[in-house]
């Protein structure tokens, strides 16, 4: 039988509630997440790998990727957030925006008189003179009735005479578009302008002969002016056509205006 220690055993701990003594207090739980819990972040000292996060769309082609031959096609019109293509690659437009296409031919008309010669001014001015004097007397008649004289005149806008005015004016407009406004008009050959101006002169000459053949009518002062101006326009149109490429008619002597 075991002997009690000197002084006896210590008294047992008393339960404040008056019942049996409870278990000894347990040690504090260890620091850290409970077993089976998902860690809230990477462990200390962990370095994330270089590159975009998993699931993110790549911002550009992978390193070493060569673009297709001819470059990338331009983005659709009105696309938002489309990344600009890298510079220096074949097929890419210059900086400052995408080029939708070449400008339409003849879309802009600019008035430039720096390249207009004296012959051009004469041709255009002749067309304006023909238009102005077409409204004056091409044919005139004078008579006396009961001792009172009267006169009457007709303009170029009668019978077929107006064709001469239209031809001269059309030649002046075409030359003005080609020289002053920079419109090439390749479908209108210089030979066509020479023929049109010469035909206007011929019509005016026929009208004068017809007026001389009548008994009452005579040529007015305007038809003589139009005949001289139309002949001068034909001459200078011929000189102008000689300087154009593809000229096949004989060359006329004249000043280099």
Domain extents for the chain?
123-242
Q: pTM for the whole thing?
A: 0.53
Which residues, listed in sequence order, are joined to residue 145 by a DSSP beta bridge? 148
CA distance 117 to 130: 20
Give the CA distances from residue 250 to residues 86, 247, 253, in Å, rounded to whole numbers and listed in that order: 58, 9, 10
CA distance 236 to 256: 10
5: left (phi over 0), alpha (psi -120 to 50) or beta: beta
Task: Determine how β-strand 218-219 pairs with β-strand 148-154.
Answer: unpaired
pLDDT, tens digit (0-9, with 9 covering 90-100), for 204-224: 999 999 988 887 888 889 999
- H-state helical runs in the chain: 118-133, 162-179, 190-213, 221-242
| Least confident window among 64-68, 101-105, 121-125, 136-140 | 101-105
CA distance 243 to 118: 14
Task: Please report the pLDDT score of residue 97 as a whole number.
Answer: 46
pLDDT, tens digit (0-9, with 9 covering 90-100), for 62-120: 666 666 565 556 656 555 555 655 555 555 555 544 444 544 554 456 666 677 788 88
Tokens of 219: 């040529």
pLDDT, tens digit (0-9, with 9 covering 90-100), for 37-59: 666 666 666 666 666 666 666 66
Spatial CA neighbour of 141 closest among 149, 132, 130: 149
Task: Please report the pLDDT score of residue 257 as a whole number.
Answer: 63
């Amino acid at each position: 039988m075991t002997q009690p220690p000197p002084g006896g055993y210590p008294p047992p701990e008393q339960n404040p509630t008056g019942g049996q003594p409870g278990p000894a207090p347990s040690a504090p739980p260890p620091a850290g997440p409970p077993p089976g819990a998902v860690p809230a972040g990477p462990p200390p000292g962990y370095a994330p790998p270089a590159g975009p996060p998993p699931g993110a769309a790549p911002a550009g082609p992978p390193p070493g990727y060569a673009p297709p031959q001819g470059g990338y096609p331009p983005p659709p019109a009105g696309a938002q957030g489309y990344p600009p293509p890298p510079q220096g690659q074949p097929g890419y437009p210059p900086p400052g925006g995408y080029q939708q296409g070449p400008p339409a031919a003849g879309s802009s008309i600019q008035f430039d008189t720096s390249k207009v010669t004296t012959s051009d001014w004469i041709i255009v001015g002749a067309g304006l003179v023909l238009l102005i004097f077409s409204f004056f007397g091409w044919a005139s008649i004078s008579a006396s009735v009961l001792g009172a004289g009267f006169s009457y005149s007709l303009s170029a806008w009668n019978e077929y005479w107006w064709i001469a005015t239209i031809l001269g004016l059309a030649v002046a407009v075409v030359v003005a578009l080609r020289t002053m406004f920079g419109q090439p008009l390749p479908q209108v050959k210089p030979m066509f302008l020479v023929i049109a101006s010469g035909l206007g002169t011929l019509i005016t000459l026929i009208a004068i002969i017809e007026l001389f053949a009548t008994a009452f009518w005579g040529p007015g002062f305007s038809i003589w002016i139009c005949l001289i101006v139309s002949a001068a326009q034909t001459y200078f149109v011929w000189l102008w056509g000689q300087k154009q490429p593809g000229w096949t008619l004989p060359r006329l002597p004249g000043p280099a205006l």
